[in-house]
Every structure is written in structure tokens, then in C-alpha cells.
Amino acid sequence: MPVRVTSRDTNRLDYGWHRSAIECEGKEIKIVSIIEGRAEGDIYYTNGPEDFFAVDDAVFDMTIYHEEGDTYDTQRDSFARLISAEVMSITGRYPLSDLLDGMRVTGISPHEVRAIEINESERSMKITKTSGEIISVELLAA
């Protein structure tokens, strides 16, 4: 059965992520995964890379998990973190809880944050706490 894939945009990370038009016998397909192993393969998606979450369990079970490695749960967690990081990198959308948890290093608890203002050119961030206090933080290069 022929599958037609027309890639529109590609992101090369550990996996190749391709925004594509995918069609099989006149029907649109949301996701096609051609993964051979950890960090080996390509993922083709129609709407967004988040579509991969609908098939990630099956992909992991069929191609990533190896009995001679770490436990199933350890390997699954590692794969899930890798996929999540790559999806976030492509979309530029990050869970608010992850970003706020990163504030803990400044001594600020996530529940204290009312607003965050980032000045990219000055590499600084202003954090407004629920108490009204404003804290300025210098951002280092990644």
C-alpha cells in the first residue's frame, strides 16, 4: 500500500522531525514513525509534533525497549523525556510547571510568581511575586 509523504519543514534533533502532508489511498494520516532505535529514525507529522504522543507507547515497545538494558520503566521514562524535550524544542511551548520549577534556584517558589518579564537583549528577567516584590535576575548564555 503506497504512502505519499511530502515534507514541508524538517527539524534534526536526536530524531528527524518532518512536518509533512501524509496520504494513503486518499486518506490523510496524522503521524508516521520510522524509528529504528534510540535516536535513530524519523517522525513525520501532519498537524504538530505532539501527535506523536498518540503512538509513543507502541513505538517504544516495538523499537526502543531492550530486555538486556535498564528496567522497562527506566528506559520508558528516558524515552518519554527525550521525546518531550524534542517536541518542546520544535514548538517552543514548555509546560508552565517546568518553567516555574526552574525558579526554585532563585529562591522563589512557583506559587509566589505572579508575572515574568524577559528582556532578551539585556539577558535579564524580572519576576513579580504575588506580594508585589520585583526581583531581577541576570540570564547566562545557554
Mean pLDDT by 10 residues, the chain (142 residues): 83 95 92 89 95 95 91 95 94 81 82 88 90 90 66
Range(s) of the domain holding residue 26 = 3-91
Q: Which of 10, 9, 55, 17 shows the shortest CA–CA distance to 39? A: 17
* Residue listed under C-alpha cell 509566589: 112
Q: Answer yes or no: pTM beyond 0.75.
A: no
- The number of folded domains in the chain is 2
Q: Is 83 exposed, middle or buried (0-12, 13-18, 19+ CB in 10 A)?
A: buried
Q: Are residues 38 and 101 in the same domain?
A: no
Q: Are residues 73 and 107 in the same domain?
A: no
Q: Are residues 85 and 108 in the same domain?
A: no
Q: Are residues 46 and 108 in the same domain?
A: no
Q: Are residues 46 and 107 in the same domain?
A: no
Question: What pLDDT does 3 receive?
Answer: 79
Question: What pLDDT does 84 receive?
Answer: 93
Q: Are residues 111 and 86 in the same domain?
A: no
Q: Are residues 121 and 58 in the same domain?
A: no
Question: What pLDDT does 142 receive?
Answer: 60
